[in-house]
Structure 1
Amino acid sequence: MPELPEMENYKIQLSQHILDLPITKVAVNREKSINVEPHRFTEELMGLRIIFIERRGKHLVFHLDNGRRLLLHLMLGGLLYFGGAEHKPARTTQIEISFGEQTLYFIGLRLGYLHLLSAKETEEALSDLGPELFDRRMNEHKFAELLGKRRGNLKTALVNQSIIAGIGNCYADEIAFVAGIRPDAKLQSLTAEDLSKLYHAAREVLTEATRQGGYIELPLTQEDQLTGGFNEHCRVYDRGGEACLVCGQPIVKAEISGRKVFYCTNCQHE
């Protein structure tokens, strides 16, 4: 599932391509991916312009010039592609929004969605999300407070969107590794030093992953050389059985509360 770095990468790149261009065509190939009747969705969007793109957690919010919003959540397997029809990936698209000769393709929205909402409805839809790690009001003390008052294991807390928005399976494991703490560690056992390490590890990992384009392999455009660059830099995620890059011990693949998890028993403590 695309997480903060993937969605931030999409936000940055799309902002360079589609802002202030009139929408010239809309195609809805799967009605369940939207929240209104297809004809209304199409009619409302035609001729409008996207004037700003915002990321909130794992969501993108497309601000339209009439004050309404498009709220996107890619969920599991969702992808975006922007370009001409001749370069469109050979995959089923659920929604297509065109800006002249170029089209933004929404791929894999079997579980995800693109909802047309008012500003107030968008705010309500995102109201359960926790704070952003890079929000100016977030700091080490606030981060420690958010995790310190919880119970349960570290992995479950890090991926809980109501605690901190934007972190999912991949980056929770990467953050835990950089902090030197096992993802199955109990929150109540973490010291102030552990929480400090987690805060700085989270900022380091998410900054690095965003800079390297996240882990999605499909480029956003034909010229895109950035998207998916972090794939080769994962320290533990999806590397079960492979040697730890630090100590050489095999990376453990396990399961916590139904989620797969990867960690090094030598480099990470409980």
Structure 2
Amino acid sequence: MPELPEMETYKNLLQLKIAGYSIKSVEVNREKSINTSVSEFTKELIENKITQIQRRGKHLIFELASGKQLLLHLMLGGLMYIETDESTISRTKQVILNFGGHRLCFIGLRLGYLHLLTPQEVEAELADLGPEPLQPNFTLQEFERLVDNKRGMLKTTLVDQHFIAGIGNCYSDEICFAAELLPTQTFDTLSGEEIQRLYQSIQNVFQEALRFGGYMEQPLFKDDQLTGGYDEKCKIYDREGEPCVRCGSTIVKKDVSSRKTFFCPNCQI
């Protein structure tokens, strides 16, 4: 599932590729992916423009010139691709926005969605999300306040979008590894120094993942050299059976609350 770095990468690249272009046609191949009738959805979007793209947690918000907004959540397996006549993708496309010379294809929206909403409705939809971990106001002091009286495991708490927005399976493991903490350890057992390490690991892991375009390897468009560059830099996620880059021990995989979790049993304590 795309997490904060993947969605931030999408946001930045899409802002360059589609913002300011008029939507010439709309194709909806799965009506359940949208929240209105196809006719209403199409009528609202044709000859409209996406003026700005924002991200909140794992969501993207496409601001339209009309004042409405498109709220996107890709969920598990979702992705996007910008097609041209010379470059297409052989995947089932649930929704396609045609900008003339290029088409933004939304793929894998059987679990995700692209909803047409007012700004107030978007705000209400996202109201229960936790803080953004890369915003300036997400300080160590704020993190310490958030974890005060927390008792859950690091893994299950970090992926809780009400706790912090944007962390999922991949980066929760990478963050715990960077902090040298077991993902099964509980917050109430952490020392002050370990909490500081965990906070700094969130910052460091996300900054590096953003620099290399996140871990999802599917490019957004032909000749996209950024998206997915972090995959080969993941130190623990999906590395079961490989030697730990820090101590050489074998990385193991364990299900934690039905989530696959990767860690080093030797140097994460």
- For each residue in 1:69-113, what CA deviation from the matched residue of structure 2 results, as whole angstroms up to 9, or x when unmatched? 000000000001013144121100000001112000001111000
Mapped contact 2:83–2:89 kept (Cα < 8 A): no
Mapped contact 1:254–1:260 kept (Cα < 8 A): yes
Per mean C-alpha deviation after superposition, the further-off stretch among 155-164 and 84-93 is 84-93
Counterpart of 2:66 in structure 1 is 66
- Report deviation, 1:171: 0.2
Q: Using the alignment, how far apart are the partners of 1:149 and 1:94 within structure 2?
A: 43
Q: Identical aligned pairs, as a percentage?
A: 52
Counterpart of 2:140 in structure 1 is 140
Counterpart AA for 1:173: D
Query: Runs in 1 of length 4+ with deviation above 2 angstroms?
Result: none
Mapped contact 1:35–1:114 kept (Cα < 8 A): yes
Q: Using the alignment, how far apart are the partners of 1:108 and 1:241 within structure 2?
A: 30
1:191 aligns with 2:191: yes
Mapped contact 1:10–1:220 kept (Cα < 8 A): yes
**Aligned residue pairs, count:** 269
Q: Using the alignment, how far apart are the partners of 2:148 and 2:178 within structure 1?
A: 19
Q: Using the alignment, how far apart are the partners of 1:68 and 1:143 within structure 2?
A: 34
- For the residue of structure 2 that corresponds to 1:16, the secondary structure is helix
Q: Using the alignment, how far apart are the partners of 2:62 and 2:14 within structure 1?
A: 10
1:128 aligns with 2:128: yes
1:151 aligns with 2:151: yes
- Report deviation, 1:264: 0.5
Q: Using the alignment, how far apart are the partners of 1:136 and 1:13 within structure 2?
A: 23
Mapped contact 1:85–1:103 kept (Cα < 8 A): no
Q: How does 1:1-270 map to 2 (within 5 A)?
A: 1-269=1-269
Q: Using the alignment, how far apart are the partners of 2:75 and 2:38 within structure 1?
A: 21
Q: Using the alignment, how far apart are the partners of 2:237 and 2:148 within structure 1?
A: 25
Per mean C-alpha deviation after superposition, the further-off stretch among 132-141 and 88-97 is 132-141
- Report deviation, 1:148: 2.7
- Report deviation, 1:67: 0.9
Q: Let me know the Cα RMSD of the aligned residues.
A: 0.8
Q: Using the alignment, how far apart are the partners of 1:9 and 1:262 within structure 2?
A: 24
What are structure 2's unaligned runs of at least 5 residues?
none
- For each residue in 1:15-58, what CA deviation from the matched residue of structure 2 results, as whole angstroms up to 9, or x when unmatched? 11111111111000000000000111001101111111000000
Q: Using the alignment, how far apart are the partners of 1:225 and 1:141 within structure 2?
A: 37
Q: Using the alignment, how far apart are the partners of 1:198 and 1:106 within structure 2?
A: 35
- Report deviation, 1:149: 2.4
- For each residue in 1:196-236, what CA deviation from the matched residue of structure 2 results, as whole angstroms up to 9, or x when unmatched? 00111001001100110111111101020111101101100
